[in-house]
Structure 1
């Protein structure tokens, strides 16, 4: 099939026929035409217009330190515009959410782990396909004497056979041993945290967020009987659950609505969305949740109104999000985000990015499934389940293909060998487990114990 036949058969491809012009204007200067880039889950490619707009801004504006707090500070005004633009992408505003800029998603998770009020009674529950950065939060829970649970999907997520089994319940994969100890009676409110990727890094699985996040969000105001997520400590008058969503991969091809899913925390990296800048991520926090965070852990430049080097009995923190922002933010770097999102808003749109990438993935997967050796041995094994039962129950996949390749004898080829062969042909792809050990173990059939001993 030549390109014109492909386009005719896949009208969703190519951003309404502008893809060749986009490539010429945005990538031809810094990206060779004979190279095939397939590592957009690692980072997407930045565009020429982003660089031009940002460096033109640096050439033509005088940007002062935001802490100087001048009334006509251009830096402050532009940063606030950028913050509002970011929140608008999430279908919300600064009235409901605030942003702490971080180095990346991992740094945002680390920061949240130090701010969250984990205690002896706290439980941290996370989905089995979470990134290492989400799993790492459990270290803080353990240090505070709390417990953790790993939530798994229905078994049919891993089953290639089409079956009509109606049990689509989430399962508990395992719990820490502290979950099994006797509960401590207390009338004092305590806080627990549930975390999930909106789309995992392993194979792009997107869970039904209404079923996964909805119960926790509804439990803020209502007592829910028969809670559908198999956590150990259920929401109650004393037990308050907050929610964290890892949007790092999801946002590369789809927008996330905080109006539809008003979770407490979102973490992301901007290079995953538009390639530039690196070294900049965000922790987005629901304003109502700011009051429970531990701002007393530290104070630094810009986060306090008054302190004395001699008297530690009085510390006056700034109000709202400012109490958690220590030191000068990377203000010139932050301003480049504006140009990245303008590219999506004005030239591409999340709708067309999603349609374009999904049609490529579907076509590629279908063609790869046809590949066989002369003896009939198939070449590709995909680690996903794509059938009507999956879609009917609210699951979907982002534009990731995760697969292994067989040799003619039905044995797996080394992923490092595949990477070297691809590199020899100017193909850039990613191999390994993609920092998602739970997903790789689940799909590869790794057996884990029901309970962990810490």
Structure 2
């Protein structure tokens, strides 16, 4: 976890953050260099002692470091002006990219022009309106495989409604059984957690591999132990949608299949599937470039796809079906998994979105958000009340090493009391800042980060209502805050393609306004809303 962050293929060396025990702050040197120096700012060498630099000098050095690193990706500032001008025009600071990416305006205009300029019918035919629709579907399929770096001779691209739909295809068709287990990381989106229901019904053993506080990284010893038995399916995220941790892909024993949920990873990182051993990869394109919102994909190795046994058939998936003979035969390959008519009018927007990402270069997006995240994390750790206690407690790693641009955290007042996350969210909303609260549809990471046990949660799972209200995360959070002065939910900010320096500076300024504010001085949280999904 420690050491330089630069690895082959990652671009230029990036800032390395180190916790320093003397003052608990992060020390950063330009180019990934680091040393133990109590208040040395980024890019400036200094020694502890009477000659240490002032906070103003350190901030100036940090600003120079940030400006230098951002200069390498300044074409993304042009993109912000040309395709995301609505953010600055309307006063938005968008820090919820893990919830949804934002669409470039040119992408929507291009798609509208395509729709207005042609006549397109259902692609399952060869008539004059169907043929161009079929061609656009296959062009989108080719673009997706190119985007994820997957050889079409090795991988299939199956279009789905979203990443959840991609995961469901694997979950319902994998040949689970007493000797084909399911192993999951406890850090997973609920769409991956739901696979366990299919495994349970098939009588398959289900094992969760825990993540370890405080960094919320996988317990590698437990992972190796879980993979020592009969081969089955391993399911884990490429990047946690809770903490931003990027979990390394293990070398699995022969016979194991790997499902890699890349929904939170793909928007700011190249996938290079030809260089990884993964069998199934799930994506949602609205997470990557914001539009369209109803299309995802399952990228599957052809040999792994051939092992899946579909529990049903539907229109669009069959080569032949008979009522009289009570039989059917699926179309081989991707078509046998694409139920019904594809959203064929949206797929050209997927291809156009991928072309946007190719023009701006996903590596540039990666490098930019890494720089902005490193700067933001350091500034968040710098925020201390007058009594020296920290305002921010990050749930996950402070260091930008093997982590993405998603940061979960809680805020604490000078007396150690948590600031209610929904109160903070309401204040952020007033300031034009979009962030997210909850457990982000990832209960396993949240339970570890917030020290919540199975015994704590069983009473809520066993009851339809609590104190007369339907049970949801909000009720659980309120009860926890009453009884132990800390909640179960958290705050999350995340960066993406359109993020810039002004966004993160506005965010740090907002947090600065909470210094020395006590929890009871904030407006109470808004009333608990009706039960709703705790998503994204």
Measured against the shorter chain, the TM-score band is 0.7 to 0.9
The answer to whether structure 1 residue 127 and structure 2 residue 153 are counterparts is no
| 1:336 paired to 2:387 | no
Partner of 2:91: 34
CA contact (8 A) 1:12 1:352 kept: no
Residue 268 (structure 1) aligned with residue 278 (structure 2): no
Q: Does 1:83 align with 2:120?
A: no
**8 Å contact from structure 1 (residues 65, 75) kept in 2:** yes
Q: What SS does the corresponding residue of 2:102 show, helix, strand or coil?
A: coil
Q: Which is worse superposed, 50-59 or 115-124?
A: 115-124
Determine if contact 1:12/1:359 at 8 Å carries over to the other structure: yes
Asked if the contact 1:199–1:249 (Cα under 8 Å) also holds between the matched residues in 2, the reply is yes
> Quick check: 1:202 aligned with 2:248?
no
Is this contact kept in 1: 2:213–2:449, CA < 8 A? Answer: no
Equivalent residues in 2 for 1:388-427, closer than 5 Å: 391=401, 396-427=402-433
CA distance in 1, matches of 2:60, 2:275: 39
Q: Which has the higher contact order (CA 8 A, sep 6+)?
A: 1
Shift of 1:215: 2.3
TM-score, normalised via structure 1 length: 0.80
2:319 is the counterpart of 1:286 = no
Q: Which runs of 5+ in 2 are unaligned?
A: 1-55, 459-536
Partner SS, residue 126 of structure 1:
strand
Q: Structure 1 residue aligned with 2:367, among 355, 362, 367?
A: 355
CA distance 1:174–1:31, shift in 2 (3 Å): farther
Matched, 1:25 2:82: yes
Counterpart position of 1:116: 174
Q: What is the alpha-carbon distance in structure 2 between the residues aligned to residue 3 and residue 20 of structure 1?
A: 22
CA deviations 1:181-217 (Å, max 9, x no partner) are xx9xxxxxx86210110000111001222xx2x224x
d(CA) in 1 for partners of 2:75, 2:90: 17
Between the aligned partners of 2:91 and 2:347, the Cα distance in structure 1 is 33
2:325 counterpart of 1:325: no
Q: In 2 relative to 1, CA 266–444 (structure 1 residues): closer, same or farther, beyond 3 Å?
A: same
Matching of residue 136 in structure 1 with residue 194 in structure 2: yes
How far apart are the structure 2 equivalents of 1:44 and 1:255?
16
Moved more, 75-84 or 408-417: 75-84
Q: CA deviation at 1:408?
A: 1.9
CA distance, structure 2, for counterparts of residue 267 and residue 33 of structure 1: 34
Q: What TM-score results when the alignment is normalised by the length of structure 2?
A: 0.69
Sort the Cα spacing of 1:359 and 1:122 in 2 relative to 1 into closer, same or farther, 3 A. same
Q: Deviations over 1:233-254 (max 9, x none)?
A: xxxxxxx321100000000100
Q: Give me the whole-angstrom Cα distance separating, in 2, the residues matched to 1:432 and 1:154.
A: 20
Look up the SS of the partner of 1:315 in the other structure: strand
SS in 2 for 1:139: helix
- Per the alignment, residue 223 of structure 1 pairs with none
CA 287–69 in structure 1, closer or farther in 2 if over 3 Å, else same: farther
SS at match of 2:142: helix
- 2:154 and 2:63 mapped to 1: Cα distance? 45
Aligned residue for 1:170?
Answer: 221
Q: Distance in 2 between matches of 1:443 and 1:174?
A: 23
Per-residue CA distance 1:112-134 (angstroms, 9 max, x = gap): 21111122332100111111111
The alignment partner of 2:220 has SS state of coil
Q: Where does structure 1 lack aligned partners over 5 or more consecutive residues?
A: 160-166, 184-189, 220-239
The 3 A distance-change label for structure 1 pair 168 and 117 is: closer
2:110 is equivalent to residue 53 of structure 1: yes
Cα shift at 1:262 = 3.1
Q: Report the aligned-residue RMSD.
A: 2.9
Q: Which residue of 1 aligns with 2:252?
A: 215
Asked if the contact 2:95–2:433 (Cα under 8 Å) also holds between the matched residues in 1, the reply is yes
